[in-house]
């Protein structure tokens, strides 16, 4: 049987790197779309660089994606590329809309033009629930985004549904709640905390400046979540799924566990800094993963405490 071939946009990101590893393990040919930059940023994929094919393209340029699809003929496309940092979306709302919102139409349309039989995964987000209308949030909970990023993701979600319904495409939207790992970008709160804990413990920093400690998130492990993406594209019919742990913790609790793991108290080091507050906040996210459990057979394997301590240990090793 011919090898399955998948295209991943955003392969240099946290999720892209784990998904590429996972698909290679499943025997796929993996094509990664990378955008041109003046310096190479392959830290997350350097260990698999010789096993994947990297091709230039950009979510801002539909022609680049049409050519890429024509040249490489994948059977599955995972659209993980985005301007993914919520805080930045407030200072760059139009750019975020172009990439994170309209970018989805460009790649979906490229798929439609080249081969509408290609299976398509869209990286949608719990940020779309924003000011939550129900607790916990499921596939049927109404959306109420609270950031330009959330609004752009909502556009991406609905255009995916629209292409599925208009052109009979196998297009799925995975509504993933926050997922973290040692490969998380340093600007996101979890990695910002675990990296600071390591640096403070090793005497390299004295304090950690944070914003809203009372925000609550449903945090899972990125490696668990990429399995759900793959499962969504292996079903008989395309559908949308919430992927989450079903548990929620505050940023404060994350700090408590992370500092506690190295024998420190977060109250002694965390300084509240107004700069890290957002113009509109998402106060509480907690997902109901029942549909993904039931229909995909998906369950997370790493607990919240295991995730926090894994990230602290990794940052301790990296900062030594
Ligand atoms: P990430 O680490 O920020 O990675 C984003 C990726 O998108 C990077 O590879 C980046 O490339 C690429 N990219 C950005 N703009 C692009 C463009 N114009 N053209 C082509 N590529 C572009 O994000 P992540 O945490 O892995 O998340 C993956 C996806 O899931 C994102 O769409 C995110 O919004 C969504 N999501 C994430 C979470 C989460 O908790 N992690 C939850 C729900 C949804 P460079 O390396 O060149 O910057
Ligand atoms: N980044 C950051 N930095 N967040 C802080 C800080 C800080 O110093 N202090 C408090 N927070 C709070 C934020 O206000 C937010 O409520 C929470 O920590 C989590 O922030 P992030 O880690 O930046 O993630 P996010 O929830 O805004 O967005 C992530 O999850 C979404 C899914 O819900 C990103 O990965 C998005 O791409 C993803 O879609």
Per-residue pLDDT reduced to its tens digit, 119-177: 999 999 999 999 999 999 999 999 999 999 999 999 999 999 999 999 999 999 999 99
Catalytic residue among 28, 78, 121, 149: 149
Whether residue 307 has pLDDT greater than 80: yes
Query: Which strands sit side by side in the sheet containing 5-9, from one edge to the other?
Result: 53-56, 29-34, 5-9, 76-79, 119-125, 171-176, 241-243
Q: Is 99 in the pocket of ligand 1 (CB under 6 A)?
A: yes
Cα(188) to ligand 2 centroid in Å equals 6
CA distance 243 to 157: 15
Cα(10) to ligand 1 centroid in Å equals 5
Site residues for ligand 2, CB cut-off 6 Å: 84, 86-87, 125-127, 177-178, 187-190, 192, 210-212, 215, 217, 251, 276, 278, 281-282, 285
CATH 3.20.20.70 is held by the domain 5-179+220-243: no
**Minimal-distance CA residue to ligand 2 atom 14:** 212
Return the ∠ at Cα 156 (arms to 291 and 30), rounded to 5°: 80
Verify whether residue 121 is a known catalytic residue: no
Residue 317 CB burial class (10 angstroms; 0-12, 13-18, ≥19): exposed
Say how many Å lie between the first and final Cα of the chain, rounded. 47
- State residue 236's pLDDT score: 98
Q: Name residues whose C-beta falls within 8 Å of residue 249's C-beta, 6 or more positions apart in sequence.
A: 216, 217, 219, 304
Detail the DSSP E strand segments found in 10-113.
29-34, 53-56, 76-79
Catalytic residue among 21, 62, 76, 127: 127
Cα(1) to ligand 1 centroid in Å equals 32
Verify whether residue 241 is a known catalytic residue: no
Q: Is 58 in the pocket of ligand 1 (CB under 6 A)?
A: yes
Q: Using the 8-state DSSP alphabet, how is residue 55 labeled?
A: E
Residue 154 CB burial class (10 angstroms; 0-12, 13-18, ≥19): buried
- State residue 33's pLDDT score: 98
- State residue 2's pLDDT score: 80
CATH code of the region 185-218+248-285+301-319: 3.90.25.10
The bound ligand whose nearest atom lies closest to the alpha carbon of 106 is 1
Cα(6) to ligand 1 centroid in Å equals 17
Whether residue 90 has pLDDT greater than 80: yes
Verify whether residue 18 is a known catalytic residue: no
Residue 95: CB atoms within 10 Å: 15
Cα(172) to ligand 2 centroid in Å equals 24
Residue 200: CB atoms within 10 Å: 20
Tens of pLDDT, residues 10-45 = 999 999 999 999 999 999 999 999 999 999 999 999
**Minimal-distance CA residue to ligand 1 atom 2:** 13
- State residue 268's pLDDT score: 98
Q: Are 78 and 225 in contact (CB under 8 A)?
A: no
Cα(36) to ligand 2 centroid in Å equals 27
Tell me whether the omega of the peptide bond preceding residue 136 falls within 30 degrees of 0, making it cis.
yes
Long-range contacts of 291-298 (CB under 8 A, 24+ apart): 291/138, 291/139, 291/241, 291/242, 292/228, 292/231, 292/241, 292/242, 292/243, 295/235, 295/239, 295/241, 296/228, 296/231, 296/232, 296/235, 296/241, 297/231, 298/227, 298/228, 298/231, 298/243
Tens of pLDDT, residues 39-89 = 999 999 999 999 999 999 999 999 999 999 999 999 999 999 999 999 999
Strand 119-125 relative to strand 171-176, pairing: parallel
| CATH 3.90.25.10 domain range(s) in the chain | 185-218+248-285+301-319
Q: Is 185 in the pocket of ligand 1 (CB under 6 A)?
A: yes
Residue 142's SS3 state is coil
Residue 37's SS3 state is coil
The bound ligand whose nearest atom lies closest to the alpha carbon of 190 is 2
Tokens of 72: 């490489």
Q: Which residue has the tokens 């096993």?
A: 51
- State residue 71's pLDDT score: 98
Q: Are 293 and 228 in contact (CB under 8 A)?
A: no
CA distance 136 to 288: 6
Please give the mean pLDDT across all residues of the chain: 98
| CATH 3.40.50.720 domain range(s) in the chain | 5-179+220-243
The bound ligand whose nearest atom lies closest to the alpha carbon of 224 is 1
Whether residue 308 has pLDDT greater than 80: yes
Q: Are 29 and 2 in contact (CB under 8 A)?
A: no
Residue 24's SS3 state is helix
């Amino acid at each position: 049987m011919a090898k399955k071939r998948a295209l991943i946009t955003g392969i240099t990101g946290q999720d892209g790197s784990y998904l590429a590893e996972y698909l290679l393990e499943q025997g796929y040919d993996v094509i990664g779309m990378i955008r041109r930059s003046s310096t190479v940023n392959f830290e997350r994929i350097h260990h698999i660089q010789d096993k994947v094919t990297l091709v230039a393209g950009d979510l801002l340029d539909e022609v680049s994606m049409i050519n890429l699809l024509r040249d490489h003929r994948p059977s599955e496309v995972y659209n993980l590329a985005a301007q993914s940092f919520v805080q930045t979306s407030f200072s760059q709302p139009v750019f975020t809309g172009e990439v994170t919102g309209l970018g989805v139409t460009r790649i979906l349309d490229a798929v439609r033009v080249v081969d509408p039989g290609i299976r398509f995964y869209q990286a949608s987000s719990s940020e779309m629930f924003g000011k939550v209308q129900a607790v916990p949030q499921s596939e049927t909970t109404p959306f109420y985004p609270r950031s330009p990023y959330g609004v752009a993701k909502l556009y991406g979600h609905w255009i995916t549904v629209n292409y599925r319904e208009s052109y009979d495409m196998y297009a799925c939207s995975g509504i993933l709640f926050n997922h973290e790992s040692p490969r998380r970008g340093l600007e996101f709160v979890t990695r910002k905390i675990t990296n600071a804990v390591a640096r403070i413990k090793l005497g390299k920093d004295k304090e950690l400046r944070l914003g809203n400690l009372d925000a609550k998130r449903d945090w899972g492990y990125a490696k668990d979540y990429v399995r759900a993406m793959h499962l969504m594209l292996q079903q008989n019919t395309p559908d949308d799924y919430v992927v989450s742990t079903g548990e929620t913790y505050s940023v404060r609790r994350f700090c408590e566990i992370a500092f506690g793991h190295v024998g420190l108290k977060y109250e002694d080091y965390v300084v509240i800094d107004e700069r890290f507050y957002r113009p509109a906040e998402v106060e509480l996210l907690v997902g109901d993963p029942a549909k993904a459990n039931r229909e995909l057979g998906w369950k997370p394997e790493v607990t919240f405490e295991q995730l926090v301590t894994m990230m602290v240990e990794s940052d301790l090793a990296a900062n030594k």
